[in-house]
Amino acid sequence: MKCRLIALGLLVFLAAPAAMAAEKRPVETVKTVCSKCHGPDGRGVSELFPRLAGQQAAYLERQLKAFRGRDRGDTHARSYMWGVAGAMSDAAIHGLATYLGSRPAPKGEPSADSALVARGKEIFEKGVAERGVPICAECHGAAATGMEEIPRLAGQYRDYLYRQIREFRGLLRRNDVMHDQTKAISDEEALAVAEYLSTL
């Protein structure tokens, strides 16, 4: 019995460094790869690229798999993320998504255009019924934090959100659900929604 306990203790001791290394891998990936475009800990550095910290882990995992499989073909996906995600295993993707999803989400930034923010808030919460623009909050939540595979939008960069809405609408980023949700929105309304969300 004593020998078995010693052997078990030795196995745990030998396995610990490997387990710790596996756990650190997402952190190292974020530091050495993701941070170049998405900023330290995924908190953002440029409106060209989304903030990833605090994003829904299930959403991140789905997007990384779409990049890996080249199923997501918008311009930045092809230019950057196909190559980055191409060799990632399911385990690496899961670990990275889980890690980024666990990081504190960055707070939004104040806007100088209070009228635009108010208009965006109205569209986000009520839609534009007469033109078939749906209520964004019904899927993304009242605080725009998302859920599972529905992404967090709160605190995201305005220009990034604005570009995504337009790409969904124009089928440059293929997503049948989001195309249907954005097909009736005008550029002005899309900008207002993006402005509002960037302040949260």
* Rounded Cα gap, residues 190 and 119, in angstroms: 10
* Rounded Cα gap, residues 53 and 80, in angstroms: 19
Looking at residue 89, what is its pLDDT? Answer: 95
Say which DSSP state 54 is in: T
pLDDT tens, residue by residue, 79-118 = 999 999 999 999 999 999 999 999 999 999 999 999 999 9
Task: Categorize the per-residue pLDDT at 73 as very low, low, confident or very high, splitting at 50, 70 and 90.
Answer: confident
pLDDT tens, residue by residue, 131-150 = 999 999 999 999 999 999 99
CATH no. for residue 167? 1.10.760.10
Looking at residue 23, what is its pLDDT? Answer: 44
Tell which of 67, 102, 137 closes a domain: 102
98 and 122 inside one domain: no
Tell which of 82, 102, 122 closes a domain: 102
* Rounded Cα gap, residues 147 and 144, in angstroms: 9
185 and 118 inside one domain: yes
pLDDT tens, residue by residue, 155-196 = 999 999 999 999 999 999 999 999 999 999 999 999 999 999
Inside any domain, residue 109 = no
Looking at residue 9, what is its pLDDT? Answer: 39
Inside any domain, residue 108 = no
Q: Domain range holding 165?
A: 114-198
Q: Could you give phi then psi for residue 157, rounded to 5 degrees? A: -65, 135
